[in-house]
A and B are shown apart, each in its own frame.
Chain A
Amino acid sequence: MSAVKKTNPALIVGKYAALAFYLIFALFPLYWLLKIGLTPDALIYSEGTRLFPSEITFSNFTTVIFQTDFVAYFRNSLMVSLGAAFFTTLFAAGAGYAFSRFVFAGKRIIIALMLVTQMFPLLMIIAPIYKVVADLGLLNSLTSLVVVYTAFNIPFATFLMQSFFDGIPKDLEDAAMMDGCSRFQALRKVVFPLTLPGLGATLGFVFTAAWSELLFALMLISRNDAMTFPVGLLTFVSKFSVDWGQMMAAGVLALIPSCLFFIFIQRYLVQGLTSGAVKG
């Protein structure tokens, strides 16, 4: 029974080398962001492409936090992203459950229409959206962004949620109803806990999409106090120069909520929660 193949050490080294190469490739831009953020202004051009700056400063960060409107942008972005993620997931979960479990008239048409909305480039509908938002008097309001982001993300999020619901055997709900649950109780006690990975994935997807969205934010928001973070970044570009250090520092700070959010939901993203439910 000594048929277990001896692993070639060269293969192991190769595997880790490939992984290391990929990691460096993927993380280098992030490193560069941080590096420039920490480099004193005077050294940014003089030291050029040195891997480590000869001197490190946190002044870019303090300037960004205390002397610019960054905190306001940050708060706006947070509100818009959380709002969009919450409402999108709420609607998408309801619609996805209906698509997954019920047969109703017009189901195919609704699904087809939702797919159609995904086919148009966003640029095409920017003007009509602007007109609608302007007529509603919602220009320069965060509400308009939440509504627009929610509307644009619902189709994809619905399909995502539907596939998660499809993955939960219908027998589980039937069993719960035989065990004395109403349909809603079955949903709450059996289906919902099993959908947490799906909800987590949808929340994360919409949050990051909204967090980094620039086009609509740029279009619908022109007042400084309502700017979201991606629009606010542009304020570091002035007519004659670009303040790279502060811009990068702001970029680093902007990464924090995304990271925190994913750390928070990653335990719900773990797959295989439904394993063991049915045969196997």
Chain B
Amino acid sequence: MARIELRDVAKRYGSVEVLRDINLEIQDGEFIVLVGPSGCGKSTLLRMVAGLEPISSGDFLIDDERMNDVRPRDRDIAMVFQSYALYPHMDVARNMGFSMEIRKDPLAERKSKVAQAAETLGLANLTDRLPKALSGGQRQRVAMGRAIIRDPQAFLFDEPLSNLDAALRVEMRLEIARLHQKLSATMIYVTHDQVEALTLADRIVVLNGGDIQQVGSPLELYERPANKFVAQFIGSPAMNVVPVVGTEFGVTAGNGTEIKLPDQPLAAQAKELGVRPEHIDVVNNGTGDLSAVADVVEHLGSDTNIYVNVEGIGSIMVRKHGNIPVKPGERLGLRIQTENAHLFATDGTALRRVA
């Protein structure tokens, strides 16, 4: 398998810079997820690794060998496309074995490998069908089979699940996770879905506007986001962020409420306070840090989402485990779990608390 390294990689289209200062080291067998909003350059980065898009500057290395100008076919990397990109005039077996056909591998070997992959992916009785006679999930499996068969140095996935319905997406996500455990191959996976990112990744790379915002394990990103963008992008539902005025002991919210943050030495520089919905407790009216009025209440069974209005601050979302008997219009008190609160400076960078 392979260790992949990107050093100061950039991508420019004319004078437009779509990716800059990309530095990333991917360990052998690691599952890396590139995540970010659409247009952040994540697919372009993946296509640069694949060799389908030229690298404007910087170095791209596989196992310490510079591969910038190596053609896609010589990089020994397999890719699963968002659109599946199955060859419509070839049946499933030929689609899967196409790379071996190009390499002129012996027919017998090709047949046995295709049969084996089809078996693993549950496609054994579909091998003589054309792609148009397959369902979305089956096409997705064929696309994966085509990648697996090559036994490549690394796998690239470009939003492979975004065309599937919700139930199938969960199922295929699980299969990709299993595949990674089984092959222990280096994998780079692009998605805009943070749930996919959090569930699959060893490490997540958060991209925005052509820059890497943060690289870290799912828990690192959740617990110690480097800036406001990562804080709001990772975690569902998104983090509440409200403007505050930093003081020596904590922060003062828009309605004058003081919130003490004893373990935050940099609170004085804070311009915004971020608290995840699950880190706010609902307490009796009149107690806690803030007084709020419930606006919309969503009962999900396992959780309750409460959208509340706080005078002088605005709408805040609170998520509590289990079924919380709150009715719209009811007045409540909110207590912020200050040990889980995040502070952001003017430029959006997180002010680290003492560890």
**Cβ of A136 under 8 Å from chain B:** no
A-B contact pairs, 8 of them (CB 8 A): A174-B47, A174-B50, A174-B52, A179-B102, A179-B146, A180-B102, A180-B103, A194-B88
Q: Residue B139 contacts which of A179, A189, A272, A276 (CB distance < 8 angstroms)?
A: A276
Whole-angstrom distance between the alpha carbons of A175 and B89 in the complex? 14
Taking A179-B150, A280-B139 as given, write out 12 further A-B residue pairs in contact, using a Cβ cutoff of 8 Å, ordered by the A residue number. Answer: A171-B85, A174-B47, A174-B72, A174-B85, A180-B99, A193-B89, A276-B131, A277-B85, A277-B86, A278-B84, A279-B83, A280-B132
**Cβ of B133 under 8 Å from chain A:** yes
Contact, CB under 8 Å: B83 / A179: no
Q: B-side interface residues toward A, CB under 8 Å?
A: 47, 50-52, 71-73, 77-79, 81-89, 98-99, 102-103, 130-134, 136, 139, 146, 150, 163
Q: Residue A273 contacts which of B47, B52, B89, B139 (CB distance < 8 angstroms)?
A: B89
Contact, CB under 8 Å: A178 / B102: no
Q: Residue A185 contacts which of B78, B84, B85, B102 (CB distance < 8 angstroms)?
A: B102
Q: A-side interface residues toward B, CB under 8 Å?
A: 169, 171-172, 174-182, 185, 189-190, 193-194, 272-280
CB contacts between A and B, total, < 8 Å: 89
**A59 CB to nearest B CB, Å:** 50
Contact, CB under 8 Å: B89 / A171: no
Residue of B nearest to A196 (CB): B89
Chain B positions within 8 Å of A189 at CB level = 102
Whole-angstrom distance between the alpha carbons of A274 and B90 in the complex? 11
Whole-angstrom distance between the alpha carbons of A224 and B86 in the complex? 55
**B71 CB to nearest A CB, Å:** 8
Chain A positions within 8 Å of B132 at CB level = 272, 275-276, 280
Residue of A nearest to B13 (CB): A103
Chain B positions within 8 Å of A272 at CB level = 132
Chain A positions within 8 Å of B82 at CB level = 171
Q: Residue B99 contacts which of A174, A179, A190, A277 (CB distance < 8 angstroms)?
A: A179
Contact, CB under 8 Å: B86 / A276: yes
Whole-angstrom distance between the alpha carbons of A193 and B89 in the complex? 7
Contact, CB under 8 Å: A177 / B89: no
- Going nearest first, the 3 A-B pairs with the smallest beta carbon separation are A276-B132, A276-B131, A278-B83
Contact, CB under 8 Å: B133 / A276: yes
**A103 CB to nearest B CB, Å:** 10
Contact, CB under 8 Å: B52 / A276: no
Whole-angstrom distance between the alpha carbons of A171 and B81 in the complex? 7
**A225 CB to nearest B CB, Å:** 45
Contact, CB under 8 Å: B50 / A178: yes
**A193 CB to nearest B CB, Å:** 5
Chain A positions within 8 Å of B51 at CB level = 177
